A = this chain, B = another copy of it.
Amino acid sequence: MDEVDSAIVRHLQMDGRLSNRALAEKLGIAPSTCLERTRLLHKRGIIQGYKAQVSLRALNRPVQAMVSTQIRPLRRDVVAAFEQSVTQLPEVVSVYTMAGSDDFLVHVTAQDIDHLHAFLLDQFTNRREIAGFRTAIIYQHLTNPVLDPLPPTAEQQRA
């Protein structure tokens, strides 16, 4: 993970479809070298994949909310089942498993407030393991375009 690798990661975070040639040119290296580097970044699991960014508005899901959720009993199998099933609901964008008074933060999207309410009544109120939840509307969700690597720890250096 030298400076070239980290530049590759930075560029591909901004534009995941940047062509290998264009990327090579930006970095001042040969396309074949760039390809090799990028392949290694995949193999090492540093680059996990590529995703299209889709407009929630265009998908007709302009309403977003964060649902703070507690489940009981807080057992391994119950936690795993909750994460697994909730993540796959179409209204759910992502699930944060938390330490603290809330066990999960569930980021959900809906067509409008009525659908959000219906979704919560159907999927949350009904579930036995859900001991309680609070819903907060999200006005806006901003994302940092680039996450830079940090210098490796002493432990990672040795590996």
Residues of A within 8 A of B (CB): 9, 12-17, 44-56, 58-61, 66, 83, 87-90, 92-100, 102, 105, 109, 111, 136-145, 147-153, 156
Taking CB atoms, residues of chain B closer than 8 Å to A53 are 47-51
CA distance A88 to B143 in the complex (A): 9
Quick one: copies of this chain in the complex?
2
Interface of A is mostly: mixed
Q: How far is the CB of A16 from chain B (nearest CB, A)?
A: 3
Q: How far is the CB of A87 from chain B (nearest CB, A)?
A: 5
Seed contacts A94-B144, A111-B153; 19 additional CB < 8 Å A-B pairs: A13-B54, A17-B50, A46-B58, A48-B55, A50-B51, A56-B147, A59-B147, A60-B149, A60-B151, A60-B152, A96-B140, A96-B141, A97-B140, A97-B142, A99-B138, A100-B137, A102-B136, A109-B147, A111-B150
